[in-house]
Structure 1
């Protein structure tokens, strides 16, 4: 799979944050339902409940793909702190005339300090390991519908979706899936959802949309009578 340069950079950022992706099972539905609920609350939409997701997975079996992104906060925080200590020691050992090396080390120091501050905030609010995003997809034949997705907004700067979507695509392709449908987009191609999906180098298919096809010659007279009756009722 090939992705735009911007997407590859965000995938690298996600790995630096310690994001891990995996295919889940029924035991992971509670965590998935939680991130979906957070998305519902954030976007003011109604999606589905844990029981519905469970029914989908039980009905479709191996054709139901539940993928999750998780973060081990304690482990990654300890790793960042250890790396910061090494960088600080390297700065002390670097001579003043080694300006390029010092500049690089200072940048690493600032980056690690930022990560540590971020993860200390996570550690105060969440358990050691937490699911931060998920996608539930259903395969049929050689195509897949990515039906439901959710993310914990507190971890948006960890960019979990930029590892999660490629994970779904990769495993689907390994199972013989040739088409994964990420869902619809707005018609003007400028909304946030469209911009996000564009990061995965999609193929956009335009459909004709909704329309009415009369199946009986009585449709138009009946429609006229219905509108006339409605008008007369409102008039009186």
Structure 2
């Protein structure tokens, strides 16, 4: 490694060293791993691993994976949710920037863009500030030549600047986990469990089930569908760290439960009818009316269950992809079947992931990933997603955002001018 400053040495690191750093770093995440490099390798021109070591003992204190893709005037580097570096530490950030610059010049890149995992401001679940803004990190980046893209809202096309997180530290069992949600979400999870919905992990040979649900959801909501091939490559790259989960309705179990509820309500109504006939009271009449309505609702649900039975014995209702990292579990992709929305399968999948991938494994951070960052517009496209995630009672991390470091200043200026022309 070449010496950058008295304190640090910079240069290339191995993929194993990046993985070890990602596992222990406060900003560690699945995108800064050798697994991610394996996933994107067929679609990029080059991948490089660079880092910063302490000169005293050679320990790695910062690092990242840079993926180089072909642009109009040469290669452009991308660092997704990285670099793994404390952007508040001026000296360390300078060394990390130098390491990135050396790599970019070696690859004759025009520029490198990064989306650090550094939190700009922590916010409440409703988006209100919950602490001071980290302007120092942004100022340090700018002083080193990084250009900030600004404080945008909406879903990011590459990396989301707004993420929703749940702190699970101190949650020791399922009872405590369920209690940590708001009342509506607690009801949804319990309701799904009582309606014959079960969650299981899909095998590699079953990824078509996940892809089909994802495709239906993409068509319904108007977002990009990545295709079954991408999900298969993801599983190959991440192996046991990637969990493709499906929530399925077991129709026979659901029908049996509905029949039992109908029979119990029928008995209750008959008992109230006999009581009212023998000794009429306003209270009994009111109870009879309420239970009669409940019985009619149960009969209606039972009739609907018969319709669902026509779809099959076990019905995939929702699917999600979760990715593990030693620091957190990330909820990355999901989809649901609109017809089976009344079964609340999506809520049960989230509960399953938090319980089995976090609480039982001692992982204290569950990352719901992207939200739009818009909290005051009920018509915002991300409103439904926000409200769903808010039901689990987490908090919001507003990240520092996108930065771009020009490496070849002449080509970068030409590229900027070209992009302006294309926008006209």
Runs (4 or more) in structure 1 with deviation over 6 Å come to none
Equivalent-residue separation in structure 2 for 1:9 and 1:73 (angstroms): 20
Paired residue for 1:55? Answer: 233
Paired residue for 1:204? Answer: 396
**Which runs of structure 2 are paired with 1:39-78 in the superposition (5 Å)?**
39-78=217-256
Q: Structure 2, unaligned stretches of length 5 or more?
A: 1-176, 378-382
Equivalent-residue separation in structure 1 for 2:416 and 2:269 (angstroms): 82
Equivalent-residue separation in structure 2 for 1:109 and 1:155 (angstroms): 22
Instruction: Evaluate the alpha carbon distance shift between residue 141 and residue 110 of structure 1 in structure 2; reply closer, same or farther with a 3 A threshold.
Output: same
Paired residue for 1:133? Answer: 318
Instruction: Evaluate the alpha carbon distance shift between residue 79 and residue 170 of structure 1 in structure 2; reply closer, same or farther with a 3 A threshold.
Output: closer
Equivalent-residue separation in structure 2 for 1:225 and 1:91 (angstroms): 75
Contact conserved, 1:69 with 1:164, CA < 8 A, in 2?
yes
Contact conserved, 1:142 with 1:176, CA < 8 A, in 2?
no
Q: When the two structures are superposed, what TM-score results if normalisation uses the length of structure 1? A: 0.83
Please identify the structure whose Cα radius of gyration is greater.
Answer: 2
The answer to which structure has the higher strand fraction is 2
Equivalent-residue separation in structure 2 for 1:37 and 1:45 (angstroms): 9
Paired residue for 2:387? Answer: 195
Equivalent-residue separation in structure 2 for 1:154 and 1:185 (angstroms): 25
1:10 aligns with 2:218: no
Q: 1:186 is paired with a residue of what secondary structure?
A: coil
Q: Structure 1, unaligned stretches of length 5 or more?
A: 232-236
1:147 aligns with 2:337: no
**Residue 361 (structure 2) aligned to one of 155, 172, 175:** 175
Equivalent-residue separation in structure 2 for 1:11 and 1:72 (angstroms): 16
Equivalent-residue separation in structure 2 for 1:226 and 1:172 (angstroms): 44
Paired residue for 1:110? Answer: 296
Paired residue for 2:350? Answer: 165
Q: What's the Cα RMSD here? A: 2.7
Relative contact order, CA 8 A, sep 6+: which one is greater? 1
Contact conserved, 2:261 with 2:298, CA < 8 A, in 1?
yes
**Which runs of structure 2 are paired with 1:113-124 in the superposition (5 Å)?**
113-124=299-310
The count of corresponding residues between Structure 1 and Structure 2 is 227
Deviations 1:65-122 (A, max 9, x none): 2222110123312431343234224422332144465345324303312311322332
Q: 2:319 is paired with a residue of what secondary structure?
A: strand
Query: Which of 163-172 and 50-59 deviates more?
Result: 50-59
Deviations 1:28-56 (A, max 9, x none): 32221221111111112223222322222
Instruction: Evaluate the alpha carbon distance shift between residue 54 and residue 215 of structure 1 in structure 2; reply closer, same or farther with a 3 A threshold.
Output: closer
